[in-house]
Amino acid sequence: MNSQIPGWLRETVARDGETIVYVARERLLEAMTWLNQTPGQDYDYLVDVTAVEFRDRERPLEVVYFLRSLSRRADLRVKVELDAAGDLAVDSVWGLWHGADWLEREVFDMFGISFHGHPDLRRILMWETYAEGFPLRKDFPLRGRFSRAEQVRQALNANPEAHYSLDELSIADAWGDLPDDMRERLKRGERGVVPE
């Protein structure tokens, strides 16, 4: 039934009764665009994005997308498998669902999976200079990689200016870099539009 999805590989049913569709990594964005825009599919709502790494090192990592069609009252789970030893990267779905912004950043932060095309892929829960790795990976020890003494040393040596990103520090010069439409809107003093 779902095999018309571009890049469809196989599908199973989860223990909660939901259909899980595995799609090819190269065709993820194509599949998501199809699911989002095809009439009769209309998956307009992204519930969640996360990743799973199994204790069994042979199994690939999975990036899991929870999709929902609000109009059809239907859910679908889409998975992409990534080889842990290979290139941990998939295409970003931010262009389809802006809700993916922080969710993909969190997966990047916790698992080290990159999302091509994400507008602002930075660490989100850990700080930007965090050097111990990716906490939710199975090879990451529960106590962290660095000793407590090393963590304290790094904290004490931190540069307070580093609390601002370069991007933020250059804000005073940033006006010219804003997108034209946003600059126009701000000049007009528009405060957002109340929908009819």
Partner 1 sequence: MTRTVELDLATPGLDAQGQPTRMPLAASDLGGEHLLLNMGPQHPATHGVLRLVVELDGETVVRCIPHVGYLHSGFEKLGEYRHYNQIVPLTDRTDYLSPMANNVGMALAAEKLMGIAITPRCTVLRVIACEMSRIISHMVWLGTTSIDLGAFTPFLWAFQERERIYNLQEMWTGARLTTSLTRVGGLMADIPDAFVDGLRKFTDTFPNTLGEIDRVLTRNAVWAGRTQGVGVMTPAEAINYSLSGPMLRASGVPWDVRKDRPYLGYETYDFEVPVGEHGDVYDRYLVRLEECHQSNKILQQALTRLPDGPINVDDPRVILPPKSRAMSDMEAMIFHFKQVMEGVKAPVGEAYVGIENPKGELGNYFVSDGSAKPVRWRIRPPSFINLSALSKMAEGHLLSDLVAINASVDIVMGEVDR
List the 74-82 sheet strands across, edge first.
8-13, 19-23, 74-82, 61-69, 45-52
The only residue of 40, 56, 160, 179 in contact with partner 1, by rule CB under 8 A: 56
Nearest distance, CB of residue 153 and partner 1, angstroms: 20
The region that residue 108 occupies, defined by phi over 0 for left and psi between -120 and 50 for alpha, beta otherwise, is: alpha
What is the CB neighbour count within 10 angstroms for residue 69?
17
DSSP-assigned letter for residue 3: G
What is the CB neighbour count within 10 angstroms for residue 138?
12
- 192 is written with which tokens? 């957002």
Shorter beta-carbon distance to partner 1: residue 4 or 188: 188
Binding residues for partner 1 restricted to 168-187, rule: CB under 8 A: 168-169, 171-172, 174-176, 178, 182, 185-187
Side chain identity at residue 187, one-letter code: K
Interface map 115-154 toward partner 1 (x if CB under 8 A): --------xxxxx-------xx---x-x------------
Shorter beta-carbon distance to partner 1: residue 4 or 187: 187
| Whole-number Å distance between alpha carbons of 181 and 65 | 32
Shorter beta-carbon distance to partner 1: residue 3 or 73: 73
Q: Which stretch binds partner 1 (CB under 8 A): 2-10, 14-22, 85-93, 151-159?
A: 14-22
| Whole-number Å distance between alpha carbons of 77 and 62 | 12
Binding site for partner 1 (CB under 8 A): 14-16, 18, 20, 44-48, 50, 52-56, 64, 66, 70, 73, 77, 97-103, 106, 110, 123-127, 135-136, 140, 142, 164, 167-169, 171-172, 174-176, 178, 182, 185-187, 189-195
